[in-house]
């Protein structure tokens, strides 16, 4: 037997590609059986190391068969997606995928085998998904799911710089503008106690882009990225950090640089997580760093849609999933979310 450590990766695991431009793959990992060595050859059909399933040879008197490797892992993940969809049939496909990745965690064995972050995400992705965390709000867990869409651009009529000479001429002209969508995560101040308990924050953005291959590279119609207001960052400073047009004008009419503020100390970080179409990250710390309303921004990154006039206002659907794991969080956040459920602000 090769893989002897509980919670470790299977000998059948395929890892992601090495390279700065590649997204985190696999997204998650699932049980795929184990491997036994019989003499000089590997044996993948050991009953105690494989899963029992229905057989495609049932008409030949074999109603059950063995399943392992990618077939087993794919089937288990597909069951997880089907289970989520059966509980909430109205969820979008990108939301279901986002919830699966959002629920994943690295096991102790994964940390031991891959202490480096880059090696860990290449071999294990975001970890092993949890059916309970993905399909329900467990005790002490508050989860907010937002389904929305982002336009590549919007066309707005704005006043012309110079007044027209003829009275019949229009005083406005169409301008193409980009949008940043901002959401408010309401974490009540009442959660802050003398104990200042530990808390975990999870944020996942999921969407499906429209690829188009140019030469050796694949471009997307529109890409999205997310960012979150940091524990010591004001709302104005955060908006200036994610939106150039919110920064004040300096000498010569140029926009000033944003203040040197930052978000939370995430496990993965914006550079690595932002390469794919499902972007999930975690932060662990004290409740005092999270309480108070925190803004989360969804920012568009232009792709090949912007080069096609007919597609310049095309929209891409996305799902934003935010969870706070800590004592009393669910009871404190629920009334505020139900009263004003994640109203977006366009900037």
| pLDDT(343) > 50 | no
As a whole number, mean pLDDT of residues 72-80 equals 90
Q: How confident is the model at residue 214 (pLDDT cuts 50, 70, 90)?
A: low
Indicate whether 78 pLDDT > 70: yes
The pTM of this model reads: 0.86
Taking a C-beta distance cutoff of 8 angstroms, is the pair 51, 71 a contact? no
Question: Is the per-residue pLDDT at 216 higher than 70?
Answer: no
Question: Which has more confidence, 341 or 248?
Answer: 248
Mean pLDDT, range 140-144, rounded to an integer:
77
pLDDT of 342 over the 50 cut = no
Mean pLDDT is highest, among 3-17, 175-189, 265-279, for 265-279
Q: How far apart are CA 274 and CA 276, in angstroms?
A: 6
User: For 292-300, what is the mean pLDDT?
Assistant: 91
How far is residue 234 from each of residues 56, 160, 219, 241, measured CA to CA in Å? 60, 35, 35, 11
Section 73-95 average pLDDT = 92
Question: Which pLDDT value is given to residue 1?
Answer: 45
Of the listed ranges 70-74, 120-124, 252-256, the one predicted with least confidence: 252-256
Q: Is the pLDDT of residue 285 over 50?
A: yes
Query: In this structure, how many other beta carbons lie within 10 angstroms of the beta carbon of residue 106?
Result: 20
For residues 56 and 118, give the distance between their C-alpha atoms in angstroms, rounded to a whole number.
Answer: 39
CA atoms within 13 A on the CB side of 80: 28
Q: Is the pLDDT of residue 4 over 90?
A: no
Residue 320 confidence (pLDDT) above 90: yes
Higher local confidence (pLDDT), 268 or 43: 268
C-alpha 40/C-alpha 321 separation (Å) is 48
Query: Which pair of tokens denotes residue 105?
Result: 């965690």
């Amino acid at each position: 037997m090769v893989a002897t450590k509980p919670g470790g990766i299977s000998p059948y695991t395929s890892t992601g590609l090495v390279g700065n431009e590649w997204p985190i793959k696999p997204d998650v990992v699932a049980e795929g059986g184990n491997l036994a060595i019989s003499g000089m050859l590997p044996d993948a059909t050991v009953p105690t190391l494989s899963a029992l399933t229905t057989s495609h040879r049932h008409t030949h008197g074999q109603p059950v068969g063995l399943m392992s490797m990618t077939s087993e892992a794919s089937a288990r993940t597909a069951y997880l997606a089907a289970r989520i969809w059966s509980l909430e049939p109205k969820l979008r496909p990108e939301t279901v995928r986002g919830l699966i990745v959002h629920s994943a965690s690295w096991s102790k064995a994964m940390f031991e085998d891959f202490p480096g972050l880059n090696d860990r995400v290449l071999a294990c992705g975001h970890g092993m998904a949890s059916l309970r965390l993905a399909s329900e709000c467990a005790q002490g867990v508050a989860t907010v799911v937002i389904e929305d869409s982002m336009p590549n651009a919007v066309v707005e009529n704005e006043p012309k710089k110079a007044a027209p000479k003829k009275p019949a001429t229009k005083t406005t002209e169409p301008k193409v503008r980009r949008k940043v969508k901002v959401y408010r995560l309401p974490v009540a101040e009442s959660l802050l106690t003398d104990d200042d308990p530990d808390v975990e924050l999870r944020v996942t953005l999921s969407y499906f882009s429209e690829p188009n291959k140019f030469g050796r590279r694949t471009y997307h119609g529109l890409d999205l990225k997310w960012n979150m207001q940091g524990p010591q960052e004001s709302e104005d400073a955060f908006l200036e950090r994610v939106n150039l047009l919110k920064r004040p004008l300096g000498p010569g009419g140029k926009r000033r640089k944003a203040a040197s503020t930052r978000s939370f100390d995430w496990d993965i970080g914006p550079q690595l997580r932002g390469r794919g179409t499902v972007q999930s990250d975690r932060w662990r710390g004290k409740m005092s760093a999270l309480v108070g309303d925190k803004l989360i921004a969804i920012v568009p990154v232009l792709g090949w849609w912007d080069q096609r006039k007919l597609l310049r206002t095309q929209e891409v659907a996305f799902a934003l999933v935010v969870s706070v794991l800590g004592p009393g969080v669910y009871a404190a956040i629920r009334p505020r979310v139900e009263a004003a459920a994640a109203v977006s602000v366009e900037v």
